[in-house]
Amino acid sequence: MNPSIQEISEAVEATGAKEVIILPNNKNVILTAKQVADVVKAKVHVIPSKTMQQGIAAMMGYNSEMSAKDNVDRMNKGITSVSSGEITYAVRDTKINGLEIKQNDYIGIIDGQLLVKGSDLNEVVMESLDKMIKPESEIITIFYGSEVEEGKASEMVDNIQQKYADMSIELHSGGQPVYYYLISVE
């Protein structure tokens, strides 16, 4: 999940492009991605996306008719327009941000900070959304993971739609391991 400089360089070179935009989608990969510019022929632009949700928001700003510079500007704006939520479980007991977390509790990580915990998955999703949604928010996008059945994800979306009736809600199978849900709010 944390590719090396060599792996990213090989991917850049395989494109054959003169300019390449890299979306790390992980805070631990941003520096590595930036170092690729020193070892490849292509001009490399790194959008400092820290989450998959930011990466998708950045890609939505891409326009093949525009210059790389203009795309980079638009894509950088895209990552600032999204709040990222990750719903997973605790692997050990801990205390963080005033929360006493027990192993296997469901947890909500919002923009990199663990802010929600609980024993009910749907309640953790709803509480996380409550913290993510701002007055100007319009769209909720949810990617359910490999451990979540589509029917259960659809039921959860129905509950979200009842509470946030004025928002557009999208549900997609992400198939990701470890995270029950990846959520973006724009």
Q: What is the pLDDT of residues 16-71, one digit of tens each?
A: 999 999 999 999 999 999 999 999 999 999 999 999 999 999 999 999 999 999 99
C-alpha radius of gyration, the chain, whole number? 18
Do both 51 and 137 map to the same domain? no
pLDDT > 90 fraction of the chain, expressed in percent and rounded: 99
Pair (76, 101) in one structural domain: no
Band (pLDDT 50/70/90 cuts) for residue 170 is very high
Judgement on whether residues 54 and 90 belong to the same structural domain of the protein: no
- Cα 3 to Cα 9, 28, 36, 182: the distances in Å are 10, 10, 11, 21
DSSP 148: S
**Do 132 and 115 sit in the same domain of this protein?**
yes
Residue type, 76: N
Both 76 and 92 in a single domain? no
Question: For residue 15, what are the CA distances in angstroms to 10, 37, 48, 58?
Answer: 9, 14, 20, 20
Q: Are residues 105 and 171 in the same domain?
A: yes
Average pLDDT value for the chain: 97
User: Structurally, how many domains does the chain consist of?
Assistant: 2
- H-type alpha helices, 20-81: 30-36, 52-60, 68-80
Domain that holds residue 47: 5-80
